[in-house]
Amino acid sequence: MLPPNCSVVHSHAVEAATAALLLLECALGALGNAVALWTFFFRLKVWKPYAVYLFNLVLADLLLATCLPFHAAFYLRRKTWGLGRTSCQVMLFLRAQCRGAGVAFLTAVTLDRYLRVVHSRLKVNLLSLRAAWGISVLVWLTMAALTHQSVFLSEAECPSSEPRMESSFSLIWQEALFFLQFILPFGLILFCSTGIIRTLQRRLRDPDKQPKLQRAQALVAVVVVLFTLCFLPSFLARVLLAIFQRTHTCGVLSAMVHAADVTGSLTYLQGVLNPVVYCFSNPTFRRSYRKLFYTLTLRGRKQEAEAPGYELRDSYS
Q: Nearest Cα to 171, choosing from 238, 103, 75?
A: 238
- Reported as a single tens digit per residue, the pLDDT across 219-245 is 778 888 888 888 888 888 888 887 777
Q: What average pLDDT does this structure show over 150-160? A: 58
Mean pLDDT of the chain: 78
For the cut 50, the answer to whether the pLDDT of residue 312 exceeds it is no
Give the domain 12-277 fold: Rhopdopsin 7-helix transmembrane proteins (1.20.1070)
Report whether pLDDT(175) > 80.
no
Bigger pLDDT: 2 or 12? 12
Distances in whole angstroms, Cα of residue 37 to Cα of each of 59, 87, 158, 237, 304: 8, 27, 32, 33, 25
Dist. CA 247–CA 253, nearest whole Å: 8
Distance between CA 38 and CA 42 in Å, rounded?
6
Q: Give Cβ neighbours of residue 276 (< 8 Å, ≥ 6 apart).
A: 222, 226
* Per-residue confidence (pLDDT) for residue 305, from 0 to 100: 46
Please give the pLDDT value at position 209.
65
Each residue of 27-59: pLDDT tens digit?
A: 999 998 998 998 888 888 878 888 899 999 999
The H helix count followed by the E strand count for the chain is: 11, 0
Q: Is the pLDDT of residue 186 over 80?
A: yes
Task: Give the Cα separation of 63 and 60 in Å (integer).
Answer: 5
Res 298: pLDDT = 55
Say which residue, 312 or 122, is predicted with more confidence. Answer: 122
Task: Look at residue 236 and give its three-state secondary structure.
Answer: helix
For the chain, give every residue range classified as CATH 1.20.1070.10.
Answer: 12-277
Whether 188 and 107 have beta carbons less than 8 Å apart is answered as: yes
Total Cβ atoms within 10 A of residue 39: 23
pLDDT, position 306: 41
The rounded distance, in Å, linking the Cα atoms of 278 and 301 is 25
Q: Which residues of 60-96 are buried (b: 16+ CB within 10 A; e: fewer)?
A: bbbbbbebbebbbbbbbeebebeeeeeebbbbbbbbb
pLDDT at residue 98 tops 80: yes
Please, are residues 7 and 250 in contact by the beta-carbon 8 Å criterion? yes
